[in-house]
A and B are shown apart, each in its own frame.
Chain A
Amino acid sequence: NAGVMQNPRHLVRRRGQEARLRCSPMKGHSHVYWYRQLPEEGLKFMVYLQKENIIDESGMPKERFSAEFPKEGPSILRIQQVVRGDSAAYFCASSPPSGATDTQYFGPGTRLTVL
């Protein structure tokens, strides 16, 4: 059973470009979470999605950031007009439909570098 998959693993963008990060949850998981980890800092929650729905986006910056989880295909975290401060590791996690434990399993992350 494949785990959470993310691509690309490394992404380099110049200031002002767009970054698209993809996440495929574990098989059978319908909940997707995005977290950001800045250098030397802890993981910060960004957004929680189910298929075709954003459930909680309280951690998303108000501008330039958006997320989706379409009916078909992976979840996408999109960052428009990137700035140097966006450089970080972006982790996706998934969990099964609500249950007693709902453990979140993390993907390998995408390391975004903005030049």
Chain B
Amino acid sequence: GQNIDQPTEMTATEGAIVQINCTYQTSGFNGLFWYQQHAGEAPTFLSYNVLDGLEEKGRFSSFLSRSKGYSYLLLKELQMKDSASYLCAVRDRVTGGGNKLTFGTGTQLKVEL
């Protein structure tokens, strides 16, 4: 089975930096994804890590350590529009190609003035 843990809620100030952690336990690991989801909307792809290290994409960066079963999403220069739920998802290879995702419950980030 799979187990994914991330904090339920976080609060940060506009312009600051916030780090959202995710730990996981899984078999057949084949990558970790971060998605952003605003209330009532679809998840939007943010980042993907399959090898150890840091992936940077503008204000967003994601880090992975496979040996520790750990990832984090780093958001810089926070803006009010970044208030959303951030979903950590682990991909598990299945027979026949394609890969199903197992999601954490999401971290609700609130950005304040």
Contacts and interface: CB of A to CB of B under 8 A. Distances in A.
Contacts of B45: 103-106
B60 interface: no
Contact of A91 (B43, B97, B98): B43
B98 A98 contact: yes
Q: Which bracket fits the contact residues of B?
A: 20 to 34
A102 interface: yes
Contacts of A42: 87, 103-106
A91 B101 contact: no
B100 A41 contact: no
Interface SS, A side: strand
Interface stretch (A13-21, A44-52, A73-81): A44-52
B95 A45 contact: no
A55 interface: yes
A45 B94 CA distance: 13
A44 B96 CA distance: 20
Given A43-B43, A91-B42, A109-B42, A104 B101 contact: yes
Interface of B: 31, 33, 35, 41-45, 48, 87, 89, 91, 94-106
